[in-house]
């Protein structure tokens, strides 16, 4: 399987560039045509050279892990005949120097809140088992070195 994303950035006419005073705003264009405004994080590159309203790579990394986990969790629950009405994850990531002294997203914490309906509601143990299975199946979590915590309710 091959995936494709186009990343576009262009220097503005009034920017020197070599003075490091240039906009980090750029665009992600996904293979289905969706365009997303992107930028460096204001935590990394100060305003006005970053765009606070745009998605930064660190946020996208966390969202990717959360989304992948959720999609596998939903499929596992459906296969087990549990009906999910809603799923919310207030995920967060923590950046610090890793064991090599390099800045890295060392821990990502997922906090899924799942609302079930119907006659068959999974037990806490069944929910934990489904989260464990989703984590093991998630392609993104299998691709990163970050520690991933799952704190389900």
pLDDT tens-place string over residues 1-40: 899 999 999 999 999 999 999 999 999 999 999 999 999 9
pTM of this prediction? 0.92
The average pLDDT across 64-88 equals: 98
Fold of 57-150: GMP Synthetase; Chain A, domain 3 (3.30.300)
Chain-wide mean pLDDT for the chain? 96
pLDDT the model gives residue 153 = 77
pLDDT of 152 > 90? The answer is: no
Q: Cα dist. 142→26, 35, 105, 126 in Å?
A: 28, 26, 15, 22
CA angle 127–68–94, rounded 5-degree value: 90
What confidence tier does 101 reach under pLDDT thresholds 50, 70, 90?
very high
* Domains of the chain by residue range: 1-55, 57-150
């Amino acid at each position: 399987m091959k995936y494709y994303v186009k990343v576009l950035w262009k220097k503005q006419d009034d920017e020197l560039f070599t003075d490091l005073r240039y906009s980090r705003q750029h665009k992600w264009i996904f293979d289905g045509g969706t365009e997303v405004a992107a930028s460096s994080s204001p935590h990394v590159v100060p305003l006005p050279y970053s765009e606070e309203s745009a998605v930064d790579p660190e946020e996208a990394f966390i969202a990717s892990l959360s989304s992948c986990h959720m999609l596998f969790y939903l499929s596992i629950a459906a296969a087990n005949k549990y009906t999910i009405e809603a799923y919310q994850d207030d995920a967060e990531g923590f950046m610090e120097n890793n064991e090599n002294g390099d800045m890295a997203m060392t821990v990502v914490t997922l906090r899924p809140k799942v609302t079930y309906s119907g006659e068959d509601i999974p037990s806490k143990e069944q929910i934990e088992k489904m989260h464990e299975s989703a984590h093991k199946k998630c392609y993104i979590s299998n691709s990163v070195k970050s520690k991933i915590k799952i704190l389900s309710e």
